[in-house]
A and B are shown apart, each in its own frame.
Chain A
Amino acid sequence: MSDLSTSTRALLDAAKADGPSKLAKAKIWGGVAATTAAAAGGGAAAGSVAAFGSGKLLMFGALFGSAVTVGLAMALMHVGPMSPEITEPRADMQLATPRPVRDPAAPAQPIRAGGPQDDLTVEQDDAPVATPVGNANAGANAAPKAAPAVVVNPAQGAAASKAKAATAKAARTAAEKDDLLERESLLVSEARGALVRGDARAALSAVHAAQALDSHALDPEELSLEARALRAMGSTDAADAVESRLRTRYPDHALAR
């Protein structure tokens, strides 16, 4: 047989290491598990009317649960990065105001009517106070009781920088969080699918894998599935313990009721 050239051999060697990413593998398996679970549901349906009813119910539950899970995930993905962005403009607003910088130890300045126009505009966002702020020279008219709403808090500068740092950190980790959340969601779906087709052990395994991730966005769903899987395996005490943990951690959650 003819031998291959070195460059061709190198290309073939490179092809040996080719393969899907971990995320792609998880997605593919999620698809396989969902399809085969659906097929198992269909098989059960063919078995008997009763089996059909329960299989249909379980499938509907699985589909509805998946929709809820995806909805929760989407909501968390949107809500998560928002909080630093909300705090940041507020902090910037404080810094942008032309208020005088004061010594933190100095007494607060009083409110004085008839102050400069620019101070009037500055105070528009402090609507509840509704009174213009005196300028730096107004110290002579300082009253013993200052209005706390107009005091420039030096800690706000630090808060602003903290907020900016948090925003940067959130941006850095956003992709990472999305990835983790997606994996967690896939594992939860897989566990649900396994329960539908009666494989409690596989469901428990998938739940444990999900719980081992750094993302715990779907913790109530995971605890609920863990309890169901344990109960299906006959470990009633362990299932009760998990349900108790679910109720303790998320007393208001629909799955805890």
Chain B
Amino acid sequence: MIEDTGAVERTSITSVPAVAPNAASRESIFRSMYEAHVDFVWRNLRRLGVELGDVDDKTQEVFVIAHRRFVEFEDRGHGPRAWLFQIVIRVASDARRHKRRHPEDPDSGKLLERESIEPPQTQALARREALERLDRALGTLEVGRRAVLVLHEIEEMTAPEIAQSLGIPLNTVYSRLRVARAELEAALSRQEGASR
């Protein structure tokens, strides 16, 4: 429901009216939510394995779905991030499945990635390479563990928030996080060893 103005305020959407919204103000609230969370959605799609060449389209898809379901949105105490993340997980999963079935892009969007940082800027290049390494390592993790790790280490959500967002027991969050951290370290070490 749209009456969850508290959630909206907690997530830095300050211009949300406190009254029950009509169609126009609902659009306004949705736009505010987009502005506040587009980075979150885009970033998590990337970390969950969506290629750079597809991530803008998939971000759009997430918000189109969110817009369609916006009237059903109920805040469970953590604002729209948890709700959006559930959509992100499904869209990312579909994208990965589609990629496995239709591997039509031979360079996996690498050309686009190179274009986005040209002319070469050392700092941007180093940052992009670091994120590529991270994404390759994250790609070796099972999706459930990866989601917990990303939400905790990158999005800085607490374990209870993650448990509620993903609908899993708190102890599962802790165990997944522990295993995911060890697996990430191991994957990065393997990458480092292979590059030597």
Contacts and interface: CB of A to CB of B under 8 A. Distances in A.
Interface of A: 1-5, 7-8, 10-12, 14-16, 18-20, 24-25, 27-29, 31-32, 35-36, 39, 194, 197-202
Contact of A15 (B34, B47, B59): B47
B154 A16 contact: yes
A201 B24 contact: yes
A8 B185 contact: yes
B56 interface: yes
A80 B80 CA distance: 44
A240 B38 CA distance: 37
B60 interface: yes
Nearest to B135: A15
Nearest to B159: A1
Contact of B60 (A11, A14, A35, A198): A35
B134 A20 contact: no
Interface residues of B, number: 37
Contact of A12 (B27, B153, B178): B153
Contacts of B31: 29, 202
A200 B64 CA distance: 20
B178 A1 contact: yes
A36 B70 CA distance: 12
A12 B154 contact: yes
B184 to A, nearest CB: 6
B185 A4 contact: yes
19 contacts: A1-B181, A2-B181, A10-B130, A11-B133, A12-B134, A12-B153, A15-B154, A18-B42, A19-B42, A27-B56, A28-B56, A28-B60, A29-B38, A31-B60, A31-B64, A32-B60, A32-B64, A39-B67, A39-B68
B43 interface: yes
Contact of B43 (A8, A18, A29): A18
A48 to B, nearest CB: 17
Nearest to B31: A202
Contacts of A36: 64, 67-68
Given A8-B185, A11-B134, A16-B154, A1 B127 contact: no
